[in-house]
């Protein structure tokens, strides 16, 4: 019995340090994990990280801690104090390296998973017959309301879908209408009047939504809202148009529609032009088509105030629209 007692005591002497070492490893793991989570939370507050960055950073931290534990555990067999501090240093170094790598790649991973989820969501929408029958939604930008042409466009029934008016667009329009600048104030009020008439028109479906986001810029909010609702974006803002297209959103640009509907003029055709002003270059005159297209009349400065017959020489297409160069007959 005595021998058995001493044997069990010897086994206990072997087991207890192993258990203590295991519990110590778990404590170090938990402490480092808590420190990492707190650090990520502080960084998010200070550097305005997106939530997705924090999640990716947390995944990198967990992988780093597990890998650091695997690399550091064998080093605990070293003589003291090396066996105590070297494994902890290895864990911290590996966890910090993996966390830094995860945060550096967070933007790429966010875009990758965003595109992946969009593809999966679209696939489910295509397979769901009820989703296919869902009415199209068109989110309207502030510039489209201020422009005013959306009202006539909607009345022609060419807009197929419901007009979505975010509350933050209304707020932005109200701020513009309260500005001290007379021109900007008039434009803001015109935009509010357009919204009011569209909302009252029984043939046009509109909906004001309260959805908002943390982003400060209205353009970023519109792009995010269009992504979330899988909606089209209606605007006359060139920069927003390009950003939305890069983000994979279908854009309806009023200016591009207006340019597409302008009458086609070919070189050699005859045009009647009223020269309304002198041009930038010496001897040039300037006139306009009824749709606003600028006409540059070579040697037309002497005809200012007169309507003349001319022939089309060349046509330039610019971002702002077409410019037609003509010569008097």
Which pLDDT value is given to residue 15? 40
Which pLDDT value is given to residue 279? 85
Starting at the edge strand that comes first in sequence, how are the strands of the sheet with 322-328 ordered? 270-274, 307-317, 322-328, 294-297, 285-288, 277-278
Which pLDDT value is given to residue 178? 86
Structure tokens at 137: 């939604």
Cα–Cα nearest to 136, from 15, 229, 251: 229
Q: 3-16: per-residue pLDDT in tens?
A: 444 444 444 444 43
Cβ contact 223:245 at 8 Å: no
Pairing of the two strands 285-288 and 294-297: antiparallel
Which pLDDT value is given to residue 51? 65
- What is the CATH number assigned to the segment(s) 135-260? 3.40.50.1010
Cβ contact 73:87 at 8 Å: yes
- Domain 265-328, what fold? OB fold (Dihydrolipoamide Acetyltransferase, E2P) (2.40.50)
Which pLDDT value is given to residue 120? 75
Domain ranges in the chain are 16-109, 135-260, 265-328
Q: What is the DSSP letter of 282?
A: T
Which pLDDT value is given to residue 233? 92
Q: Residues of the chain whose pLDDT is less than 70?
A: 1-52, 54, 76, 83-84, 121-134, 291, 318-321
What are the residue ranges of helices labelled H in the chain?
A: 2-47, 51-72, 82-104, 106-127, 129-132, 142-147, 149-155, 167-177, 182-200, 218-229, 238-246, 254-261
Which pLDDT value is given to residue 22? 43
Q: Is the dihedral of CA 310, 311, 316, 322 positive or negative?
A: positive
């Amino acid at each position: 019995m005595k021998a058995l007692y001493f044997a069990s005591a010897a086994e206990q002497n072997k087991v207890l340090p192993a258990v203590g070492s295991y519990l110590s490893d778990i404590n170090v793991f938990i402490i480092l994990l808590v420190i990492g989570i707190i650090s990520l939370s502080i960084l998010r507050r200070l550097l305005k990280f997106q939530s997705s960055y924090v999640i990716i950073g947390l995944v990198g931290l967990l992988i780093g801690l597990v890998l650091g534990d695997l690399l550091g555990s064998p080093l605990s067999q070293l003589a003291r104090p090396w066996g105590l501090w070297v494994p902890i240093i290895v864990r911290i170094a590996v966890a910090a390296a993996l966390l830094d790598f995860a945060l550096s790649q967070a933007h790429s991973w966010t875009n990758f998973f965003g595109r992946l989820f969009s593809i999966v969501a679209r696939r489910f929408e295509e397979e769901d017959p009820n989703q296919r029958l869902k009415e199209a939604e068109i989110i309207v930008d502030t510039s489209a309301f201020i422009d005013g042409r959306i009202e006539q466009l909607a009345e022609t029934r060419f807009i197929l879908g419901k007009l979505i008016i975010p509350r933050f667009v209304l707020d932005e329009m109200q701020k513009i209408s309260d500005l001290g600048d007379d021109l900007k104030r008039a434009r803001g009020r015109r935009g509010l009047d357009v919204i009011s008439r569209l909302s009252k028109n029984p043939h046009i479906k509109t909906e004001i939504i309260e959805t908002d986001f943390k982003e400060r810029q209205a353009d970023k909010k519109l792009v995010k809202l269009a992504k979330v609702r899988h909606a089209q974006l209606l605007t006359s803002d060139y920069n927003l148009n390009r950003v939305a297209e890069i983000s994979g959103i279908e854009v309806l640009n009023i200016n591009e529609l207006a340019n597409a509907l302008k009458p086609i003029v070919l070189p050699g055709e005859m045009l009647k032009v009223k020269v309304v002003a002198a041009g930038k270059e010496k001897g040039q005159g300037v006139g306009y088509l009824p749709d606003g297209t600028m006409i540059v009349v070579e040697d037309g400065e002497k005809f200012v105030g007169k309507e003349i017959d001319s022939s089309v020489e060349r046509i330039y297409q610019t971002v702002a629209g077409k410019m037609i160069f003509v010569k008097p007959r």
